[in-house]
Structure 1
Amino acid sequence: MSHDCSIPLIAEGVYAFDARGIAKRFRHAAIFGALSALERGETMRFCNDHNPLPLLAQIEHHFGNAVRIAYVSNEPGEVIIDFLVME
């Protein structure tokens, strides 16, 4: 069963963010802005066409323990990661 990233709200407090439709030069700024807009207990469900390892390292460096990272799916062409705001 595949996840549909076009649905903006997946469940209460879980918001979709499909990076595939954002120009590459703006992606990281948009992702960091979206994460910063979340409140404690909310989740951004991030969809991408590849595993964004450099981005994950940047998020861990910037947010530390305030954001938990959990893979929902890591398939070729479709990577889905939940970013849960802890603090």
Structure 2
Amino acid sequence: MAHDCSRSLGVGAVYPFDARGVAKRFRHAAIFGALDALEPGETMRFCNDHDPLPLLSQIDNIFGERIRMAYVQREPGAIVIDFQVVS
């Protein structure tokens, strides 16, 4: 049986999202779409070259308590944030 990449891996799954590879004009829309596609218990591991404070504020305004944010790495040039959907 072939692997179906469109299927969720389920609760506890961590999906990587490297924002550095997305054109700047599409970046926020792509991030919001990816977050909206997550199921409760799933996590998007976001990687970026700078701390996206305005984006974090937008995510909080759009998703509220549905998304839990936690820094995994917070160093200049290397930012990793886990966004987990809570039920």
TM-score by length of 2: 0.86
- Following superposition, the deviation at residue 34 of structure 1 comes to 0.2
1:52-67 map, 5 Å = 52-67=52-67
- Following superposition, the deviation at residue 64 of structure 1 comes to 0.4
Q: Identity, % of aligned pairs? A: 70
Separation of aligned partners in 1, 2:63 and 2:80: 19
Aligned to 1:26: 26
Aligned to 2:68: 68
Give me the CA root mean square deviation: 1.2
- Following superposition, the deviation at residue 17 of structure 1 comes to 0.1
Flag structure 2 segments of 5+ consecutive residues without an equivalent.
1-8
Runs of 4+, deviation exceeding 4 Å = none
Rg larger in structure: 2
Flag structure 1 segments of 5+ consecutive residues without an equivalent.
1-8
